[in-house]
Amino acid sequence: MPIKEFLEKISDTVWEIPVSYKEGMRVPARIYGTEKIISELDEAVYDQVTNVATLPGITKYAMCMPDGHFGYGFPIGGVAAMDVEKGGVISPGGIGFDINCGMRLMVTNLTYHEVKPYIKKLVDRLYERVPAGVGSSGFVKLSRNDFRQVVEQGAQWCVNNGYGWEEDLELIEENGCIKGADSAKISDKAIDRGFNQIGTLGSGNHYLEIQVARKLDIFDPELAKTMGITMPDQVVVMFHCGSRGFGHQVATDYLQRFLKVMDSKYGIKILDRELACAPFDSPEGQAYFSAMKCGINMSYANRQVILHRIREVFSEIFERSAEDLGMHMVYDVAHNTAKLENHVVDGKKRSLLVHRKGATRAFAPGMADIPERYKNIGQPVIIGGSMETGSYLLVGVPTGDQTFFSTAHGSGRTMSRTKARKAWKGETLLKDMQKKGIYVRSTSMSGLAEEAGAAYKDIDDVIEAAELAGISKKVVRLTPIGNIKG
């Protein structure tokens, strides 16, 4: 029977697939989105999210956020919380290969009027200072042993070594260093793939963007002010990148390891090899958890060094210090993680391992682990759109408990990279964007074509769905004026 005949409309933005849909489902699957988003959703997403619903220990629902699309194992936009006291598993397919691929946002006290004459110079110099593209290497030269320290200490290592300010650490999830990372749990091959990549963007949908907060796009001036956006046409800088080849190798190593022990040692049978998993409390599960944390910390360090380089470039071009330019962080959010969190389920507090694969944590006001300055407003949420459209700054809300305080992470693709390359030419996109006032540098014209705005869902539709569903609240829409693509 077609999946849509099983789909039950819970509300205007919540749709549920019951456990009767597929043998082995332990919980229902829920997909978040407006009717428009649901009508355009790839059929494969339904198959993936219902496969996730069969995993041991899954609690409440298998979920897919409004930007959801087909991924490896979990759909991208997938969220699943595993009860670690009831046989819950950990699955690399629920975290992703680019561990802690995430977003960082920084404000300046510059206006569009002040920056416009320098936009080409800024983008060109940032393109030189922040290496992008496949296989790019960073300017921070580390030995393999130094790199082991970085993946255990995260952004703290960077600040200790002069790449950033102490105040930056407060504004990163986990203060830029998740506890329990153990470099003894990662392979030499993973070290080899990552030790020279600190401070690099990578490729695909990773980018560095100079943006403007237009007056009409500041939806809640008080919330925006608390997060550092205090005036119309204020210029900000946003970037999106992760753990590069290092995270990919960590995931690959443990997927192979889990496939060997999952059935033979633990009797776990799955519907899709891409959902390879192990009990969280098993030796294999704990080893991966520690290794995955190394990927999280590598990514925090990567973004910290990039932040340092951006401050250097702005300071050089405007001949003022980064402090004088007001180049303070708003926040750094992670995607592609699994974290132990306490959540209330059916009236009881439970310790859950929350997998967020292409999804953003969105804690509500008053929750632990939010920086003190944001305690009263909720955790900042940074959602990147396509290079042609815009991005958003949101906050978490109390009703986000329905998704274990998770929300969307981006626009979400509607077209494969292969199809996008056939549909558009990078050179044409480059010219079209310049006509729109967006100056772009890219390492590859075919890579640029893959990131065409029309290959993604409409970011405004995704944000509307997230707000209507009560899983986050929009604060500011940010318009691109300069972009560097990997």
Name 167's Cβ contacts closer than 8 Å, sequence gap at least 6: 328, 329
The DSSP code for 172 is B
Q: Which residues make beta-bridge pairs with 243?
A: none
> No. of H helices and E strands in the chain?
15, 19
CA distances 243 to 151, 174, 192, 423, Å, are 10, 16, 13, 30
CA distances 471 to 194, 198, 462, Å, are 35, 33, 12
Per-residue H/E/C for 293-327 = HHHHHHHHHHHHHHHHHHHHHHHHHHCCCCCCCCC
* 266 closest CA partner among 251, 250, 253, 281: 281
Strand ranges inside 135-261, DSSP E: 207-213, 234-241
Is residue 409 part of the annotated active site? The answer reads: yes
Q: Which residues make beta-bridge pairs with 62?
A: 29
* Tokens matching residue 84: 């670690």
* Tokens matching residue 88: 């819950």
The DSSP code for 480 is E
* Tokens matching residue 156: 């703290």
The DSSP code for 251 is H
Is residue 91 within 8 Å of 355, Cβ to Cβ?
yes
* Catalytically active residues, by annotation: 409
